[in-house]
Structure 1
């Protein structure tokens, strides 16, 4: 298994033109069905968001940290425990809190500022420590993957394919930089019973995004 640093160099060396070729070959156009923003089979919507992306959404919306992001649920039991990274906050139905729908047509209320994982959906890059969804390979090398989405197979022009490819590369780099930051800044927080601790690239935090005050 390659080190995170080696994977980061692989991500930085990705040829965006090759990524665009794969995207153009399979084709994609968002149909605004909202499937990628809503809960599925009673599982709440889960999309990874970086700490700086949370702050950007806070600045754009005026929301508190908890209104933008929640602790990634993996690793938590009955809502308590320790976990890594953040997920976009959800509403009472388990849908992304920024998702809006009118007569069956979906929209993102923070579309210009949406996180990288949302900008690049349904595509991802298959490198170590990069986020799901992985999906099925859509190029011969298996680097570009596509999650199931009804918008796949639709025509996409070269300009949009190239823009999406550049963003996809940026996301791959950012995910690996975040993973390295989590590793390098990890320090066991010694949480008290019933607490929630989130470890991100900036250290141990409470659910409101502030530094977690470690126990003794």
Structure 2
């Protein structure tokens, strides 16, 4: 019986992925975003609606904090208020910023509902959601009776959002919400047969934009982001494994383990 590959071995496979081969797979499946918003919102019956759940890593949370703060500063500057020249309100507190909780929440898997709310240990973070279960960065506009979705932090969105509806099947990488409905096996690498490795597979998940024409340039841009995401996810998985130490959260307490160690829901270390 062959042993499962280690995270380090899978990380090397991710680093060796060919952007050209990934782009070929994406082109063969086809994709164009229709801005329907399905990948940014909760799903299921209204009475039992499942919240949107998308993995976001610590550095991505900080990038979103900065992007959101910059956006708020730009709006303040545009409003005609006195600013410091960088779009910040001179009367605002010096430490005014987007809180960690505004961007991310503990990944719900592994947590239980206690008398004082969610409690337990979990791994990694999910994008924060609103009262409807939609991503907090999701916005809708209506034009001529048609609703169009948009991301308010599109330029700084996490890699899992940038690459949806695609994923690469490697141990240690995450699969986004939505069942895989199509897949393409990548060409085997020259040393794959000798090493006994299975060929990598690009998966396509539920999305109404699948099957549409995509330009080669867009396919290559998406493929490069998909490779970056696979490397990032496996690097994070190695970090989580190496820093993990069992915690003992009390009633109503939540501990989140990421590559930087054990944290509280507000993103601060449990050791602080």
How do 1:10-159 and structure 2 match up within 5 A?
A: 10-41=13-44, 42-62=49-69, 63-78=98-113, 79-103=118-142, 104-133=147-176, 135-141=180-186, 143-159=201-217
**Aligned residues: CA RMSD:** 1.2
Q: TM-score, normalised by structure 1?
A: 0.96
Aligned to 1:173: 231
Offset of residue 48 of structure 1? 0.1
Q: TM-score, normalised by structure 2?
A: 0.77
- Segments of structure 2 that go 5 or more residues without pairing to the other structure are 70-97, 187-199
Q: Which one is further off, 142-151 or 86-95? A: 142-151
Q: Distance in 2 between matches of 1:137 and 1:8?
A: 24
Offset of residue 80 of structure 1? 1.2
Offset of residue 191 of structure 1? 1.9
Q: Report SS of the residue matched to 1:138.
A: strand
Q: Which one is further off, 84-93 or 72-81? A: 72-81
Q: Distance in 1 between matches of 2:184 and 2:100?
A: 38
Q: Distance in 2 between matches of 1:91 and 1:194?
A: 21
Offset of residue 204 of structure 1? 0.2
Deviation string for 1:52-84 (max 9, x for gaps)? 000011111122000000000000111211100
Asked if 1 retains the 8 angstrom alpha-carbon contact of 2:19 and 2:223, the reply is: yes
Aligned length: 214
Asked if 1 retains the 8 angstrom alpha-carbon contact of 2:236 and 2:258, the reply is: yes
- Which stretches of structure 1, 4 residues or longer, exceed 3 Å deviation after superposition? none
Offset of residue 211 of structure 1? 0.3
Q: Distance in 1 between matches of 2:208 and 2:58?
A: 30
Asked if 2 retains the 8 angstrom alpha-carbon contact of 1:189 and 1:212, the reply is: no
Which structure has the larger Rg over C-alpha atoms? 2
Offset of residue 97 of structure 1? 0.3
Offset of residue 129 of structure 1? 1.1
Aligned to 2:94: none
